[in-house]
Amino acid sequence: MGIDFLCAFSLYHAFSEGIHVFLFYNFSAFALQMPLGIVLDYWCDRSGEKMFPGYVFLLAGVLLTVFGTITSPWILGLGNALFHTGGGVLSIHEDDRSSLKGRGLGVFVAPGAIGLFLGTLFHNTPLYTLIRILVSIVMAALTAVLFLLGREDREERGRVYTRKSILWISLFCFLVVILRSLTGMSVLFSWKATPSISFLAVLCLASGKALGGFLGASFGMKKTVIITLLLSAVSYCFGDNIYGGLVSLLLFNMTMPLTLYLLKKVMPEMPGFAFGILTFALFLGYLPVYYGFLRDIPPFPMGTISSLISLVFLYMAVVIAERDEKNG
């Protein structure tokens, strides 16, 4: 939350007047996570250490983000990418080690939406410099705590999936994330007229990302996918109503930890790439909105169609994964 707060806080305060600033930032922050994830996976493989490289990426991300607030949106975005790549890999390993079955993945990503909203909302404050320094100090202190709490690795042996299955599951998850990004950026809710209502919407969005992992672990991926996305499709039909819109945001975003958990299951030796390929999908979903091809679209039918297509793709990914698990 702190990283995304600081990025939005500084981006809107110091860099928003530049040409294509937001495109540059989003490319640096999201698209670069995939190549950075490949580098991190390679480092982990060559060194035989699973956690230490992630800590280094996380620390570098904090330092570059802080430095980027006074230099360039490129550096700001690169710091965000390094932090989330390192933190994402650490979260994936900790989720495995603690047998959380995906619960920890949504919890790691969900607070970012709140940070982005708060940073955007308060970027014009006269206390900008003071707040920026205080948040930077807090993030540095929390990073130090993570290093101190670091534990030894233990060997984890994942299931074996066929190459064909891995490709299909990756493709389906990739498309689901593009749809989630595109829908989230392009759909306009008419009731989001005040900061307090908008903040409530962000809370529902973040809660959905966190709850998706818990529901998937408790009731199974297949049931969670079917129920949440069917209800999401229905609730988007009433998206112009505040209650229908809030419920749709909550349900639709539950796919986030599910897609990440599926990919990390089928690519256990490449957690950085698994995390990065989904953030690259987020960037691709942002492009049609940035260039004005899709913008200010009503919740219905856009949200309903996206929910149903996501249901088909994600259900097929789960079926393929479960088939390989059953076959050994």
Domain ranges of the chain: 2-326
Asked if 259 and 224 count as a contact pair (C-beta separation under 8 A), the reply is no
Q: How many CB atoms lie within 10 A of CB 116?
A: 20
Nearest CA to 183 out of 302, 293, 279, 290 is that of 302
Q: For residue 76, what pLDDT is reported?
A: 95
pLDDT-derived band at 159, boundaries 50, 70, 90:
low
Percent above pLDDT 70 for the chain: 97
Cα–Cα dist 191/177, whole Å: 25
Q: What is the pLDDT of residues 43-71, one digit of tens each?
A: 999 988 888 899 999 999 999 999 999 99
Superfamily of the domain at 2-326: MFS general substrate transporter like domains (1.20.1250.20)
Q: For residue 149, what pLDDT is reported?
A: 78
b (16+ CB within 10 A) / e for 203-231: bbbbbbbbbbbbbbbeeebeebbeebbeb
Q: Which element (helix H / strand E) includes 180?
A: helix 163-186
